Amino acid sequence: MQAIGLFGGTFDPIHFGHLRLAQELGESLGLSEVRFIPAARPPHRSEPHTPAKHRVKMARLAIADNSLFTLDAREIERAGPSYTFDTLTSLRAELGAKIPFYLLLGADAFLGLPSWHRWRELFGLAHIAVAYRPGFTLDAGSPLMAPELRAEWQQRYCADPSSGAYGTILSREITALDISASAIREQLALGGSPRYLLPDSVLGYIHQHKLYTSGIA
């Protein structure tokens, strides 16, 4: 049974770093699809700069020409904080217990996993696939890894995709694209151009709706 990748984030705005991570992990893990899941109210960071309706539309534009990618707006449509545990639980209820899920995370997000709501229970719902940049050390000896996360890594890490539906950790090195949404927002606020950091369709939408500029909600 082909696996599904789940890639959440504020996507404020979505950019080529997001898209390349999803593409490389999707290919490496043999995923049947990668679902982009925009967060409404991320519990681990400040409120998004742009309303959810715009972030969803930008994500749709960004993935429109890629048959591997789909958009899942359940966190936008659900009231309350956008907890990954709740999202995975609803997906399991919808799609069943047998389909392998891979929660796609960058290394920074993975290292912060112990601060997430019901984080240990995520392993009963999905595998976790961690993307890291060349030259970045990600293993049980990493000084950045909290002891409780290290214990899970030692117990669950495997080099290759599992035949099961959930419960393992794996990692993949991906192309280094040092692009951040915050830097894009800053460029736009200062009147600069972030062209070639994000899809032209997304940039056109940003300009059309005057997003990330002073005085625009």
pLDDT tens, residue by residue, 53-77: 999 999 999 999 999 999 999 999 9
pLDDT band at 135 (very low <50, low <70, confident <90, very high): confident
pLDDT band at 215 (very low <50, low <70, confident <90, very high): very low
Residue 128 predicted with pLDDT over 50: yes
pLDDT of residue 216: 42
Percent of the chain with pLDDT over 90: 84
Nearest to 35 by CA among 83, 82, 103, 99: 103
Q: Is residue 76 part of a domain?
A: yes
Residue 113: give its domain's CATH number: 3.40.50.620
Q: Is residue 125 part of a domain?
A: yes
Q: Is residue 205 part of a domain?
A: no
pLDDT of residue 205: 98
- Full domain range(s) for residue 125: 4-177
Say if strands 4-9 and 101-106 run parallel, antiparallel, or are unpaired: parallel
**CB–CB of 205/56 below 8 Å?**
no
Nearest to 129 by CA among 107, 111, 104: 104
Residues 55 and 12: their CA atoms lie apart, in Å, by: 6
Q: Is residue 16 part of a domain?
A: yes
Per-residue pLDDT reduced to its tens digit, 12-41? 999 999 999 999 999 999 999 999 999 998
Q: Is residue 193 part of a domain?
A: no
Residue 47 predicted with pLDDT over 90: no
Least confident window among 97-111, 180-194, 201-215: 201-215
pLDDT of residue 217: 35
Residues 76 and 201: their CA atoms lie apart, in Å, by: 22
- Mean pLDDT along residues 46-57: 92
pLDDT of residue 191: 93
Residue 54 vs residues 14, 77, 159: alpha-carbon distances, Å: 11, 14, 38
Percent of the chain with pLDDT over 70: 97
Per-residue pLDDT reduced to its tens digit, 154-199? 999 999 998 899 999 999 999 999 999 999 999 999 999 999 999 9
Q: How many domains does the structure of the chain reveal?
A: 1
Give the list of residues 6+ apart from residue 197 with CB closer than 8 angstroms, or none.
15, 16, 179, 183, 184
Q: Is residue 51 part of a domain?
A: yes
- Mean pLDDT along residues 134-163: 91
- Mean pLDDT along residues 196-210: 97
Q: Is residue 23 part of a domain?
A: yes
How much is the pTM?
0.94
Mean of all residue pLDDT scores within the chain: 94
**CB–CB of 189/214 below 8 Å?**
yes
Q: Is residue 201 part of a domain?
A: no
pLDDT band at 141 (very low <50, low <70, confident <90, very high): confident
